[in-house]
Amino acid sequence: MLVYILKRLLWTIPTIFGVSILVFAMVHLAPGDPALVMLGEHASKESVEKLRKDLGLDKPLYVQYLIFVKKAVKGDFGKSIKSRQDVIVEFWDRFPATVELTVVSMLFAIIIGIFAGIIASVKRYSIFDYTSMVGSLAGVSMPVFWLGLLLIYFFAVKLGWLPVSGRLSYEYYIDKVTGFYLIDALIAKDYEAFWDALKHLILPGFALGTIPMALIARMTRSSMLDVLKEDYIKTAKAKGCSSFRVIMIHAFRNAAIPVVTIVGLMFGTLLAGAILTETTFSWPGIGKWLVNAVYQRDFPVVQCATLIIAVIFVVINLIVDIIYAFINPKVRLD
């Protein structure tokens, strides 16, 4: 097992190296001059050239890339062209908000999706089966921003049960320890602030988790149906195992590998792709920050956010592969 993990770790090095080249090339080959964006269209040629020199944009691309990699290894992504603040500081200020939203969304998606998929497979062709599959199809098909607007209209505007946007109501304040409001509120033993932060997570978490939930439910149902036909399931039933043990221990464990794949991929995707949800609910995460940086040609921000998200995505895939090996020993033998 240790050899398998070391091999997978070594494979991540060329992957991250390739990603760094793509990120750098993508930003620098895009049209537009960051110096001109900063100074405006009416800036003199001399001032633009001076700023390009200060930013290192006058150097050859391969030199800029080497400088970028050298600084990135040290965690130095430079300063934002627009705000003139350290990019890495801005990133970590926003990253907990996105992670908190993603974790809540995935918890919702995993719990509901696996439960619905298992019940649908066991109660095949029942009303629950048809209802859950139609619901999952609707969840996959519905655009996130449209679902978000519907949720805001009914649960925030009409019923007034939940807040419209943001991470916390103005009457509460949470001292920053980890940046995760739920954890920081528990550390401060401020349970009213914890409940308020949790209420702010419900609507965006539900909107963001709908598509993963639908995919997990369909994948769980399909995998379970395949496994439930196997001879060892019939043997387990013949031995008198309880229905719960047959389904959860014998069947679901073997059906879980494709589900783990979906969960791992969707977690990484949501971290990088929560842009619409963050925009709809004014959520102060990295998605909206990254989009604004792209429009403003703030390439240090784009490089930092894209590279770190890509590295996190690679790490998540590594974790998924290791979980594979634990669930199914054949994977590490292959």
pLDDT tens track for 41-71: 677 777 777 777 777 777 888 888 888 888 8
Give me the residues paired with residue 86 across strands.
Answer: 79
pLDDT over 90, % of the chain: 4
Read off the tokens for 58: 């006058």
Residues 20, 151 share a domain: no
Residue 249 or 207, more confident:
207
Residues 314, 204 share a domain: yes
Report if residue 310 sits inside a domain: yes
Measured CA to CA, the distance from residue 214 to residue 35 in angstroms comes to 45
Confidence check: pLDDT of 275 > 70: yes
- The CATH number linked to 127 is 1.10.3720.10
Residue 248's nearest CA partner among 56, 160, 117, 137 is 117
Report if residue 111 sits inside a domain: yes
Q: Which of 74, 109, 129 is the last residue of a domain?
A: 74
Residues 278, 162 share a domain: yes
pLDDT tens track for 229-245: 888 888 888 887 788 88
Residue 202: per-residue pLDDT = 92
Measured CA to CA, the distance from residue 119 to residue 139 in angstroms comes to 18
Residue 307's nearest CA partner among 74, 20, 64 is 20
Report if residue 127 sits inside a domain: yes
Residues 199, 64 share a domain: no
Report if residue 271 sits inside a domain: yes
Report if residue 87 sits inside a domain: no
Residue 209's nearest CA partner among 287, 100, 121 is 100
Residues 313, 184 share a domain: yes
- How many domains, the chain? 2
Residues 198, 272 share a domain: yes
Residues 60, 105 share a domain: no
Report if residue 85 sits inside a domain: no
Residues 128, 34 share a domain: no
pLDDT tens track for 119-146: 888 888 888 888 888 888 887 777 888 8
Residues 267, 170 share a domain: yes
Residues 116, 261 share a domain: yes
Measured CA to CA, the distance from residue 66 to residue 88 in angstroms comes to 18
Per this entry, what is the length of the chain? 334
Residue 72: per-residue pLDDT = 83
Domain with 298 in it: 93-328
Residues 191, 65 share a domain: no
Residues 56, 156 share a domain: no
Report if residue 88 sits inside a domain: no
Report if residue 150 sits inside a domain: yes
The label of the residue with tokens 């793509």 reads 22
Q: What are the residues whose beta carbons fall under 8 Å from the beta carbon of 212, sequence distance 6 or more?
A: 105, 106, 109, 110, 113, 262, 263, 266, 270
